[in-house]
Amino acid sequence: MNHDRTRLGRSVELSRKNEGCVVAARWRTGAGSRGINGPDEVVIRLAEDAAPEVRERGITSAALHQLGRQVDDMVAEFHDLPSVGAYQVMVHCYIEGRLAELAQARGATAPGFESDLLAVFEDLTGRGHVDPLGVLATATRRSREALHQLLDVARLRGDHDERSA
């Protein structure tokens, strides 16, 4: 495992490139806990081949937000955990399965798809998903705007029952 290398006193560095920036995460500690730990050092710099507009802006808070996800991904890689991509696939499969269950429960031809969407949306929100609308839109192959309208229909009709519980 990757973290065993740090216990032997050897450093490990992982890096990612995103939005014209390079982020490197380094684990240098020789003795660490067995738990999941972040890197000892994170270095962010503009990539040598960054576009001129990126060089002009520099490292912005928006870039830092994106790079934070890259650090999370490197921590997962370092500890041999599922990556963010695997998490997204898992959430996508969950949404598809949950919508199918709800459709079967109400009868696939009966009206109520909007309330099913709302139940799944509220479930994702309750679980603390950072972008429930976005992930639901991706899973259902609908735009955010279209999905937002469908959710509003369910809320306005008040036909949402407690199926999300």
Residues 6+ apart with CB under 8 A from 36: 75, 79, 81
Please report the pLDDT score of residue 25 as a whole number.
92
Please report the pLDDT score of residue 7 as a whole number.
45
Q: What is the pTM of this model?
A: 0.45
Q: How buried is 76 (Cβ within 10 angstroms: 0-12 exposed, 13-18 middle, 19+ buried)?
A: middle
164 sits in the region (left: phi over 0; alpha: psi -120 to 50; else beta) called alpha
All structural domains of the chain with their residue ranges: 10-81, 85-163
Please report the pLDDT score of residue 26 as a whole number.
92
Please report the pLDDT score of residue 31 as a whole number.
47
Please report the pLDDT score of residue 75 as a whole number.
78
Amino acid letter for position 97: G
Mean pLDDT by 10 residues, the chain (165 residues): 48 85 84 67 92 91 81 76 61 76 70 85 82 81 85 80 44
